[in-house]
Amino acid sequence: MQRYLDFNATCPPLRVALDAADRAATEAPGNPSSLHWAGRAARRYVDDARDQLAAYTGAESGNIVFTSGGTESNNIAIHSVLSVAQPGSIVTSAIEHPAVLKPLEHYSTEKAKALGWSVTRVAPDANGAVSAAEMIAAINKDTRLVCLMQANNESGVMQPVQQVADYCREQGVPMLVDAVQALGKKPLNFKAMGVDFMSLSGHKIGGPKGTGLLLVRRGVKIVELTPGGGQERGRRSGTENVPGISGFAAALGKIDFTTFSPIRDLFEKELVEKLPVASIIGKDVGRTPNTSLVMLPGMDGETLLMQLDLAGFAVASGSACSSGKREPSHVLMAMGMTEQLARSSIRVSFGPGNSEADAVALVDALVAVFRRLKQMAGMVI
């Protein structure tokens, strides 16, 4: 029996999203930039989806720039601010998604430092939560951009974005919030939060892969990463993905991730009881309701993942977007863990179709794998 428990990596597309995408593709096959009847039909699908997404996220339709996903959205926001700014400081957390940390590496080079750029990466505490006070303390009159995620993709730990956003707004400092993992799991209100940018991705809530958006505060200028035909009001060129956008909007609100909290809690309770060596990252702070980041000291996360895969379980080790690399979790390393400990983690994220039986079965499989690997290690010794 196969059990999918990796919903933070992607949520398999919902039927309602696939049906919406199919309707858009078949009923409105024109280019939404074309002026004829076929183009106007496609444009209506895009505009209707834009209105739905704006209402759901507490934004205005004009705030939305459709993109290919969270990575592109983050890059657009970062590029828009820093490519036209005078050298100064950038403040972020050490646990951001690579889609934020990688673009900021450009401003950490020796050449960038010589020009006056600096990047401060605020480390989290032992629970995986970044301190709002430390983020705020790192901001000064020369700060050009602040980046802080809403929820961490590995641990699920919620971050203090509102406190930091309030301060940034007072100081007139642009702020980007990566809310990809929060969508559908926590209420979002872009206008009330008062930030300049917020990135979202459709496939995390059962929409089609390859579709996302960037929310942009009214009056904030976007610098295109890839200039072209001037779509999205000249903010992101390229023909809009009409089926994907329609499917994204159709998936809104269809999954209540809070219903998976009891399953997650049962999994953690059973695991710690049967494997006392196991520990749960972020269990004492606010987390997304479906996410469990488990530490199993002495084990290798990739080995555990492969053994569980053979047993029919799909889970993750560290960030799924970096799963092809043999690198320890940068999130756990930022929390002060050794490389060996950081490699001993697996992430379980529950979603539609999962039950308490899946949680119990996963615990039993983990216990069996743990004992088998320990025995093998003992034989080698």
The catalytic site residues sit at: 321
Contact 28, 45 (CB under 8 A): yes
Contact 75, 223 (CB under 8 A): no
Instruction: Please report, for the chain, how many H helices and E strands are present, in that order.
Output: 15, 12
How far apart CA 48 and CA 45 sit, in angstroms, is 5
The phi and psi torsions of 118 (rounded to 5 degrees) equal -145, 150
How far apart CA 247 and CA 202 sit, in angstroms, is 8
166: exposed, middle or buried (Cβ count in 10 Å: 0-12, 13-18, 19+): middle
- Residue 66 makes CB contacts below 8 A (sequence gap 6+) with 46, 50, 211, 212, 213, 232, 236, 240, 241, 245
Token digits of residue 70: 């969270």
Contact 302, 321 (CB under 8 A): no
Contact 127, 157 (CB under 8 A): yes
- Residue 91 makes CB contacts below 8 A (sequence gap 6+) with 119, 120, 122, 135, 138, 139, 143, 145, 146, 147
